[in-house]
């Protein structure tokens, strides 16, 4: 649920939801929570028609009527919920701090956390981690460091957590001076394209600035895998991102839906966008009671925001029942 701030060469500020564009809810417990957020102005329904565009027929199909599927967004950005949770009473948030190592102190029955440079981050009664790579060798491939949590701490989790597959995605952020009037929907799935999978009009969401029209495009998984296979897992270079931006925009242009050039264009890699596995569908999270350790996230329940919320609520319930 990320939001990104960009500044154009002439100083214009642009805001994009460059991760998940919206979320829907089917779980009653989550719906109750979302309604509370809605009453606080953190969430609103995005009441726009959605559809699909076929790149072969060059036509829109299956345009949904407003209200068939409720789509919720954070207000004024998708990160609004996360920001609010960080400011709840009793919560102390620290940003820009990486945890390099979790160590269980058996004699004291406490967790010791160390930073990336070995600094002491404190001792804690319990830990909830929401990063699926916490014990994965993928961390080592990307950073050169060992995973923060050793598999010896909870050996039975090793198979489940060692390598959770995920489908990557590239997002393209575009800003236009004028509305793209040839597009009849504010979001659409793209069919029969090897490059693009979705397009969303980000500026049409509740609480957004309408000074410019901003769109976010998502690539296909196959396209993203191809780029990563060539460029590697490390942070992509500006040259790579520029090439991706050009290729995604060229595919968008080929739909015939746009006649103007954007005044802003930038690509972003979303490396672990959609987990393929659900490793704790019944339990909702991984829980080690004796060490008060929970691991939660969309990879536990389902690859979406609702799955992440369900898993987080389960982890919180487990931990608070022990403290």
Each residue of 47-77: pLDDT tens digit?
998 999 999 999 998 776 645 679 999 999 9
DSSP 40-55: TTSEEE----EEEEET
The arithmetic mean of pLDDT across residues 133-155, rounded, is 83
Question: Could you tell me the pLDDT band of residue 46, with boundaries at 50, 70 and 90?
Answer: very high
The arithmetic mean of pLDDT across residues 274-298, rounded, is 95
Q: Using the structure block, give the residue that is written with the tokens 């998502």.
A: 218
| Interval 235-257: pLDDT, tens | 899 999 999 999 999 999 999 99
Distance CA 179, CA 211 (A): 10
187 and 38 fall within a common domain: yes
Domain-embedded: residue 223: yes
Question: Could you tell me the pLDDT band of residue 204, with boundaries at 50, 70 and 90?
Answer: very high
| Interval 156-203: pLDDT, tens | 888 888 888 889 999 999 999 999 999 999 999 999 999 999 999 999
258 and 269 fall within a common domain: yes
- CATH code assigned at 67: 3.90.660.10
Indicate if the pLDDT at residue 16 is higher than 70.
yes
Distance CA 193, CA 250 (A): 12
63 and 186 fall within a common domain: yes
What DSSP designation does 58 have? T
Question: Could you tell me the pLDDT band of residue 142, with boundaries at 50, 70 and 90?
Answer: confident
Distance CA 1, CA 297 (A): 13
The residue range of the domain holding 50 is 3-83+166-275
Domain-embedded: residue 203: yes
Domain-embedded: residue 200: yes
114 and 210 fall within a common domain: no
146 and 202 fall within a common domain: no
Q: How far does Cα 298 stand from its chain's mean position?
A: 10
User: Which pLDDT belongs to residue 63?
Assistant: 74
- CATH code assigned at 107: 3.50.50.60
152 and 195 fall within a common domain: no
- Give me the percent of the chain exceeding a pLDDT of 90: 82
If you average pLDDT over every residue of the chain, what do you get?
Answer: 93
Domain-embedded: residue 25: yes
46 and 192 fall within a common domain: yes
Q: Are 55 and 254 in contact (CB under 8 A)?
A: yes
173 and 251 fall within a common domain: yes
User: Which pLDDT belongs to residue 155?
Assistant: 87
| Interval 294-319: pLDDT, tens | 999 999 999 999 999 999 999 999 99
Domain-embedded: residue 88: no
157 and 109 fall within a common domain: yes
The arithmetic mean of pLDDT across residues 28-44, rounded, is 97
Which token pair is 46?
């995005």
What DSSP designation does 205 have? S
246 and 257 fall within a common domain: yes
100 and 32 fall within a common domain: no
Domain-embedded: residue 105: yes
The pTM score is 0.93
Domain-embedded: residue 217: yes
Q: Using the structure block, give the residue that is written with the tokens 């389902």.
A: 302
The arithmetic mean of pLDDT across residues 1-9, rounded, is 94
Distance CA 96, CA 271 (A): 20
Indicate if the pLDDT at residue 120 is higher than 60.
yes
User: Which pLDDT belongs to residue 64?
Assistant: 67
β-pairing, 187-191 vs 50-54, is parallel
64 and 198 fall within a common domain: yes
Q: What is the number of structural domains in the chain? A: 2
């Amino acid at each position: 649920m990320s939001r990104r701030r960009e500044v154009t060469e002439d100083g214009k500020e642009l805001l994009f939801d460059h991760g998940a564009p919206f979320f829907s809810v089917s779980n009653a417990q989550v719906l109750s929570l979302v309604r509370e957020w809605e009453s606080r102005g953190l969430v609103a329904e995005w009441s726009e028609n959605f559809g699909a565009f076929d790149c072969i027929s060059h036509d829109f199909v299956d345009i949904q009527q407003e209200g068939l599927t409720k789509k919720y967004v954070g207000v004024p950005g998708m990160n609004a919920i996360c920001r609010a949770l960080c400011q709840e009473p009793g919560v102390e948030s620290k940003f820009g701090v990486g945890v390099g190592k979790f160590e269980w102190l058996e004699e004291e029955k406490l967790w010791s956390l160390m930073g990336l440079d070995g600094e002491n981050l404190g001792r804690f009664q319990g830990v909830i981690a929401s990063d699926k790579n916490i014990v994965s060798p993928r961390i080592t491939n990307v950073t050169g460091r060992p995973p923060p949590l050793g598999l010896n701490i909870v050996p039975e989790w090793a198979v489940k957590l060692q390598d959770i597959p995920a489908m990557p995605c590239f997002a393209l952020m575009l800003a236009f001076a004028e509305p793209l009037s040839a597009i009849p929907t504010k979001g659409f799935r793209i069919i029969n394209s090897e490059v693009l999978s979705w397009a969303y009009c980000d500026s049409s969401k509740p609480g957004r600035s309408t000074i410019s029209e901003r769109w976010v495009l998502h690539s296909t998984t196959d396209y993203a895998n191809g780029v990563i296979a060539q460029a590697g897992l490390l942070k992509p270079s500006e040259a790579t991102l520029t090439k991706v931006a050009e290729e995604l925009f060229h595919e968008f242009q080929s739909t015939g839906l746009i006649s103007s050039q954007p005044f802003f264009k930038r690509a972003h890699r979303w490396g672990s966008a959609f987990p393929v596995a659900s490793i704790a569908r019944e339990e909702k999270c991984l829980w080690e009671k004796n060490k008060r350790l929970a691991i939660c996230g969309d990879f536990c329940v389902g690859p979406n925001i609702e799955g992440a919320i369900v898993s987080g609520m389960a982890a919180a319930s487990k931990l608070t029942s022990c403290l």
